[in-house]
Protein backbone atom coordinates (compact mmCIF):
# COMPACT_ATOMS: atom_id res chain seq x y z
CA UNK A 1 0.00 0.00 0.00
CA UNK A 2 1.45 3.34 -1.10
CA UNK A 3 0.20 6.69 0.10
CA UNK A 4 0.17 8.01 -3.46
CA UNK A 5 0.58 6.34 -6.84
CA UNK A 6 1.41 8.77 -9.65
CA UNK A 7 0.70 7.71 -13.22
CA UNK A 8 3.12 9.39 -15.58
CA UNK A 9 6.75 10.50 -15.15
CA UNK A 10 6.62 13.79 -17.02
CA UNK A 11 7.03 17.25 -15.44
CA UNK A 12 3.57 17.06 -13.83
CA UNK A 13 4.03 13.59 -12.35
CA UNK A 14 7.60 14.12 -11.18
CA UNK A 15 6.80 17.49 -9.61
CA UNK A 16 3.91 15.83 -7.80
CA UNK A 17 6.30 13.14 -6.58
CA UNK A 18 8.78 15.73 -5.29
CA UNK A 19 6.11 17.61 -3.34
CA UNK A 20 4.52 14.46 -1.92
CA UNK A 21 7.87 13.02 -0.85
CA UNK A 22 8.80 16.24 0.90
CA UNK A 23 5.54 15.83 2.84
CA UNK A 24 6.80 12.41 3.99
CA UNK A 25 4.40 10.36 1.89
CA UNK A 26 5.31 7.05 0.25
CA UNK A 27 5.21 7.52 -3.51
CA UNK A 28 5.25 5.18 -6.51
CA UNK A 29 5.59 6.66 -10.00
CA UNK A 30 4.48 4.53 -12.95
CA UNK A 31 5.65 5.34 -16.48
CA UNK A 32 5.00 3.34 -19.63
CA UNK A 33 7.53 4.92 -22.02
CA UNK A 34 10.25 7.44 -21.20
CA UNK A 35 11.04 9.07 -17.86
CA UNK A 36 10.75 12.84 -18.21
CA UNK A 37 7.75 12.86 -20.55
CA UNK A 38 7.32 14.56 -23.92
CA UNK A 39 9.65 17.41 -22.98
CA UNK A 40 12.60 15.02 -23.41
CA UNK A 41 12.05 15.21 -27.18
CA UNK A 42 12.61 18.99 -27.25
CA UNK A 43 16.22 19.73 -28.26
CA UNK A 44 16.15 23.11 -26.54
CA UNK A 45 13.92 24.57 -23.80
CA UNK A 46 14.19 28.33 -23.28
CA UNK A 47 10.95 29.11 -21.43
CA UNK A 48 11.39 27.18 -18.18
CA UNK A 49 12.14 29.39 -15.14
CA UNK A 50 15.68 29.16 -13.81
CA UNK A 51 17.31 28.06 -17.05
CA UNK A 52 18.29 30.37 -19.89
CA UNK A 53 18.58 27.27 -22.01
CA UNK A 54 18.38 23.54 -21.30
CA UNK A 55 17.63 20.50 -23.40
CA UNK A 56 14.36 18.71 -22.73
CA UNK A 57 16.32 15.53 -22.06
CA UNK A 58 18.47 17.20 -19.42
CA UNK A 59 15.45 18.80 -17.74
CA UNK A 60 13.74 15.41 -17.61
CA UNK A 61 16.85 13.79 -16.13
CA UNK A 62 17.07 16.45 -13.42
CA UNK A 63 13.43 15.90 -12.44
CA UNK A 64 13.89 12.12 -12.28
CA UNK A 65 17.11 12.46 -10.27
CA UNK A 66 15.48 14.83 -7.77
CA UNK A 67 12.51 12.50 -7.25
CA UNK A 68 14.76 9.46 -6.80
CA UNK A 69 17.02 11.29 -4.35
CA UNK A 70 13.97 12.05 -2.22
CA UNK A 71 13.04 8.37 -2.14
CA UNK A 72 10.55 7.87 -4.97
CA UNK A 73 9.91 4.40 -6.31
CA UNK A 74 9.73 4.49 -10.11
CA UNK A 75 8.52 1.56 -12.18
CA UNK A 76 8.35 1.11 -15.95
CA UNK A 77 4.91 -0.39 -16.54
CA UNK A 78 1.72 0.36 -18.46
CA UNK A 79 -1.42 1.13 -16.47
CA UNK A 80 -4.42 -0.84 -17.73
CA UNK A 81 -7.07 0.38 -15.28
CA UNK A 82 -7.66 2.01 -11.91
CA UNK A 83 -10.42 0.75 -9.64
CA UNK A 84 -11.93 2.51 -6.66
CA UNK A 85 -13.38 -0.12 -4.30
CA UNK A 86 -13.75 2.39 -1.48
CA UNK A 87 -11.09 3.26 1.05
CA UNK A 88 -8.20 2.71 -1.40
CA UNK A 89 -7.44 2.50 -5.14
CA UNK A 90 -6.21 -0.49 -7.15
CA UNK A 91 -3.88 0.37 -10.02
CA UNK A 92 -3.72 -2.55 -12.45
CA UNK A 93 -0.70 -2.64 -14.78
CA UNK A 94 0.45 -5.06 -17.44
CA UNK A 95 3.09 -6.53 -15.10
CA UNK A 96 1.76 -5.89 -11.63
CA UNK A 97 -0.91 -4.52 -9.35
CA UNK A 98 -0.51 -1.71 -6.84
CA UNK A 99 -2.64 -0.28 -4.05
CA UNK A 100 -2.78 3.39 -3.08
CA UNK A 101 -4.68 5.66 -0.76
CA UNK A 102 -4.66 8.34 -3.46
CA UNK A 103 -3.88 8.48 -7.18
CA UNK A 104 -2.54 11.34 -9.30
CA UNK A 105 -3.07 10.91 -13.03
CA UNK A 106 -0.39 12.74 -14.99
CA UNK A 107 -0.53 10.70 -18.18
CA UNK A 108 -0.09 13.73 -20.43
CA UNK A 109 -1.30 14.07 -23.99
CA UNK A 110 0.27 13.89 -27.37
CA UNK A 111 0.17 16.44 -30.13
CA UNK A 112 -1.90 14.86 -32.86
CA UNK A 113 0.48 13.90 -35.64
CA UNK A 114 0.00 14.02 -39.40
CA UNK A 115 0.69 10.29 -39.57
CA UNK A 116 3.26 10.62 -42.35
CA UNK A 117 6.40 8.65 -43.05
CA UNK A 118 9.55 10.22 -41.53
CA UNK A 119 7.47 12.45 -39.22
CA UNK A 120 9.25 11.19 -36.09
CA UNK A 121 12.60 11.46 -37.88
CA UNK A 122 12.03 15.15 -38.68
CA UNK A 123 10.59 16.06 -35.26
CA UNK A 124 13.01 18.66 -33.91
CA UNK A 125 14.58 18.91 -37.37
CA UNK A 126 11.96 20.93 -39.20
CA UNK A 127 8.78 19.47 -37.73
CA UNK A 128 7.46 21.02 -34.52
CA UNK A 129 4.24 20.89 -32.54
CA UNK A 130 4.79 23.95 -30.33
CA UNK A 131 5.35 27.44 -31.76
CA UNK A 132 5.90 28.92 -28.31
CA UNK A 133 8.60 26.34 -27.59
CA UNK A 134 10.43 26.27 -30.93
CA UNK A 135 9.41 29.43 -32.77
CA UNK A 136 12.62 31.32 -32.00
CA UNK A 137 14.64 28.81 -34.04
CA UNK A 138 12.90 29.97 -37.24
CA UNK A 139 13.55 33.71 -37.06
CA UNK A 140 13.63 35.24 -40.57
CA UNK A 141 12.83 31.88 -42.17
CA UNK A 142 9.84 30.53 -44.10
CA UNK A 143 7.52 28.18 -42.22
CA UNK A 144 4.10 26.59 -42.65
CA UNK A 145 1.44 26.06 -39.99
CA UNK A 146 -0.69 22.97 -40.55
CA UNK A 147 -4.25 23.42 -39.29
CA UNK A 148 -6.97 26.04 -39.19
CA UNK A 149 -8.27 26.06 -35.63
CA UNK A 150 -7.49 28.51 -32.84
CA UNK A 151 -4.19 26.89 -31.91
CA UNK A 152 -2.96 26.98 -35.50
CA UNK A 153 -4.03 30.60 -35.95
CA UNK A 154 -2.45 31.66 -32.65
CA UNK A 155 0.77 29.90 -33.70
CA UNK A 156 0.65 31.73 -37.03
CA UNK A 157 0.20 35.12 -35.33
CA UNK A 158 3.18 34.40 -33.10
CA UNK A 159 5.37 33.22 -35.97
CA UNK A 160 4.40 36.04 -38.33
CA UNK A 161 6.23 38.54 -36.12
CA UNK A 162 9.54 36.73 -36.51
CA UNK A 163 9.42 34.70 -39.74
CA UNK A 164 9.94 35.97 -43.27
CA UNK A 165 6.91 34.00 -44.49
CA UNK A 166 4.10 32.08 -42.79
CA UNK A 167 1.80 29.84 -44.80
CA UNK A 168 -1.30 28.39 -43.18
CA UNK A 169 -2.30 25.08 -44.77
CA UNK A 170 -5.83 23.94 -44.02
CA UNK A 171 -7.60 20.82 -45.30
CA UNK A 172 -10.98 22.59 -45.33
CA UNK A 173 -12.21 25.49 -47.46
CA UNK A 174 -12.11 27.79 -44.42
CA UNK A 175 -10.46 28.23 -41.04
CA UNK A 176 -12.40 27.04 -38.00
CA UNK A 177 -10.71 29.42 -35.55
CA UNK A 178 -11.88 32.79 -34.25
CA UNK A 179 -12.69 35.48 -36.81
CA UNK A 180 -10.57 38.01 -34.95
CA UNK A 181 -7.48 35.85 -35.39
CA UNK A 182 -8.25 35.38 -39.07
CA UNK A 183 -8.60 39.13 -39.53
CA UNK A 184 -5.28 39.76 -37.79
CA UNK A 185 -3.54 37.27 -40.06
CA UNK A 186 -5.14 38.62 -43.22
CA UNK A 187 -3.74 42.01 -42.30
CA UNK A 188 -0.14 40.73 -42.28
CA UNK A 189 1.77 40.92 -45.56
CA UNK A 190 3.93 37.88 -44.84
CA UNK A 191 1.00 35.50 -44.20
CA UNK A 192 -0.64 33.33 -46.86
CA UNK A 193 -3.57 30.89 -46.64
CA UNK A 194 -3.78 27.66 -48.65
CA UNK A 195 -7.16 25.93 -48.35
CA UNK A 196 -8.50 22.49 -49.40
CA UNK A 197 -4.97 21.12 -49.15
CA UNK A 198 -3.25 18.36 -47.17
CA UNK A 199 0.37 17.43 -46.57
CA UNK A 200 1.23 14.10 -48.17
CA UNK A 201 5.01 13.79 -47.77
CA UNK A 202 7.91 15.26 -45.79
CA UNK A 203 11.15 15.70 -47.72
CA UNK A 204 14.76 16.44 -46.87
CA UNK A 205 17.97 14.78 -45.79
CA UNK A 206 18.68 15.34 -42.10
CA UNK A 207 16.59 18.55 -42.02
CA UNK A 208 13.14 19.13 -43.51
CA UNK A 209 13.49 21.14 -46.73
CA UNK A 210 10.14 20.73 -48.49
CA UNK A 211 6.71 19.12 -48.25
CA UNK A 212 4.50 17.54 -50.87
CA UNK A 213 1.01 19.03 -50.88
CA UNK A 214 -2.18 17.85 -52.53
CA UNK A 215 -4.82 20.29 -53.68
CA UNK A 216 -7.99 18.37 -52.83
CA UNK A 217 -10.22 20.52 -55.01
CA UNK A 218 -8.24 19.82 -58.19
CA UNK A 219 -6.56 16.56 -57.06
CA UNK A 220 -3.16 17.99 -57.88
CA UNK A 221 0.10 17.31 -56.02
CA UNK A 222 2.98 19.77 -55.85
CA UNK A 223 6.18 20.43 -53.92
CA UNK A 224 6.29 23.32 -51.44
CA UNK A 225 9.67 24.51 -50.13
CA UNK A 226 9.73 25.41 -46.46
CA UNK A 227 12.27 25.66 -43.63
CA UNK A 228 9.93 24.14 -41.08
CA UNK A 229 6.34 23.23 -40.30
CA UNK A 230 4.30 23.62 -37.13
CA UNK A 231 1.61 20.96 -36.80
CA UNK A 232 -1.44 22.25 -34.90
CA UNK A 233 -4.24 19.76 -35.51
CA UNK A 234 -5.18 19.06 -31.91
CA UNK A 235 -4.15 17.16 -28.81
CA UNK A 236 -4.70 13.48 -28.17
CA UNK A 237 -4.95 12.37 -24.51
CA UNK A 238 -4.24 8.82 -23.38
CA UNK A 239 -6.97 8.48 -20.78
CA UNK A 240 -8.77 5.29 -21.84
CA UNK A 241 -7.59 3.37 -18.72
CA UNK A 242 -9.41 5.95 -16.57
CA UNK A 243 -12.70 6.28 -18.45
CA UNK A 244 -14.62 4.33 -15.79
CA UNK A 245 -12.75 5.96 -12.90
CA UNK A 246 -13.52 9.63 -13.48
CA UNK A 247 -15.40 11.82 -15.92
CA UNK A 248 -13.86 12.69 -19.29
CA UNK A 249 -14.92 15.38 -21.76
CA UNK A 250 -15.82 14.70 -25.41
CA UNK A 251 -12.16 14.84 -26.47
CA UNK A 252 -11.14 12.36 -23.79
CA UNK A 253 -9.49 14.81 -21.36
CA UNK A 254 -10.10 14.29 -17.64
CA UNK A 255 -12.51 16.92 -16.37
CA UNK A 256 -10.61 18.86 -13.70
CA UNK A 257 -9.94 22.56 -13.17
CA UNK A 258 -6.94 24.34 -11.63
CA UNK A 259 -7.60 22.49 -8.36
CA UNK A 260 -6.78 19.21 -10.22
CA UNK A 261 -9.76 17.62 -8.43
CA UNK A 262 -11.59 14.97 -10.49
CA UNK A 263 -15.08 13.52 -10.08
CA UNK A 264 -13.64 10.71 -7.90
CA UNK A 265 -12.50 11.49 -4.32
CA UNK A 266 -8.80 10.88 -3.86
CA UNK A 267 -8.05 10.99 -7.58
CA UNK A 268 -6.38 14.04 -9.11
CA UNK A 269 -5.43 14.98 -12.68
CA UNK A 270 -2.32 17.04 -13.37
CA UNK A 271 -0.82 18.40 -16.57
CA UNK A 272 -1.83 17.92 -20.18
CA UNK A 273 -4.20 15.01 -19.48
CA UNK A 274 -6.80 17.31 -17.91
CA UNK A 275 -9.09 19.95 -19.36
CA UNK A 276 -7.10 23.18 -19.61
CA UNK A 277 -6.32 26.03 -21.99
CA UNK A 278 -2.53 26.29 -21.61
CA UNK A 279 -0.40 23.19 -22.01
CA UNK A 280 3.23 24.08 -21.25
CA UNK A 281 5.94 22.40 -19.19
CA UNK A 282 5.69 25.10 -16.51
CA UNK A 283 1.89 24.74 -16.15
CA UNK A 284 2.30 20.96 -15.93
CA UNK A 285 4.75 21.41 -13.07
CA UNK A 286 2.33 23.79 -11.35
CA UNK A 287 -0.45 21.21 -11.65
CA UNK A 288 1.83 18.59 -10.15
CA UNK A 289 2.45 20.69 -7.05
CA UNK A 290 -1.27 21.40 -6.57
CA UNK A 291 -2.25 17.75 -7.10
CA UNK A 292 0.37 16.53 -4.63
CA UNK A 293 -0.76 18.90 -1.89
CA UNK A 294 -4.38 17.89 -2.43
CA UNK A 295 -3.47 14.20 -2.42
CA UNK A 296 -1.48 14.61 0.79
CA UNK A 297 -4.42 16.30 2.50
CA UNK A 298 -6.71 13.49 1.30
CA UNK A 299 -4.39 10.79 2.64
CA UNK A 300 -4.13 12.54 5.99
CA UNK A 301 -7.93 12.90 6.18
CA UNK A 302 -8.61 9.18 5.72
CA UNK A 303 -5.90 8.24 8.23
CA UNK A 304 -7.52 10.20 11.07
With a cut of 80, say whether residue 102 has pLDDT above it. Answer: yes
Q: What is the mean pLDDT of residues 108-122?
A: 92
From the candidates 93, 130, 175, 273, give the one annotated as an active-site residue.
Answer: 130
Identify whether 93 is a catalytic site residue: no
- The better pLDDT of the pair 304, 12 is held by 12
Identify whether 130 is a catalytic site residue: yes
Domain 2-111+235-303 architecture: 3-Layer(bba) Sandwich (3.50)
Q: What is the mean pLDDT of residues 42-58?
A: 83
pLDDT at 256: 97
Q: What is the mean pLDDT of the chain?
A: 94
From the candidates 133, 175, 246, 296, give the one annotated as an active-site residue.
Answer: 133
pLDDT (tens digit, 9 = 90+) per residue, 58-77? 999 999 999 999 999 999 99
| Residue 124, Ramachandran bin (φ over 0: left; ψ between -120 and 50: alpha; else beta) | left
Among 90, 210, 188, CA closest to 144: 210
pLDDT at 279: 83
Identify whether 238 is a catalytic site residue: no
With a cut of 70, say whether residue 41 has pLDDT above it. Answer: no
Classify burial at 187, counting beta carbons within 10 Å of its beta carbon; exposed 0-12, middle 13-18, buried 19 or more.
Answer: exposed
Q: Domain spanning 119-231: which CATH class is it, in words?
A: alpha beta
Domain map (residue ranges) of the chain: 2-111+235-303, 119-231
From the candidates 3, 134, 155, 227, give the one annotated as an active-site residue.
Answer: 134
Query: Model-level pTM greater than 0.85?
Result: no
Point out which residues pair with 298 in neighbouring strands. Answer: none
Fold agreement (2-111+235-303, 119-231)? yes
pLDDT at 83: 95
Amino acid sequence: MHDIVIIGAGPAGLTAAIYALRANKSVLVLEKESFGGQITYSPKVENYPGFNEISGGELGEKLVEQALNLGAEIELDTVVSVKNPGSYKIVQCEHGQYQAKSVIIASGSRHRQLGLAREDEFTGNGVSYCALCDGAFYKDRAIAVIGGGNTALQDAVLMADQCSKVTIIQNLAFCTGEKKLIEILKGKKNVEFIFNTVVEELEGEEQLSSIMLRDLEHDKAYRFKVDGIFVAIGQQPDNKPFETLCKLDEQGFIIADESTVTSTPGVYAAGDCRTKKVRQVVTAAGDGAVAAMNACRFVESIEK
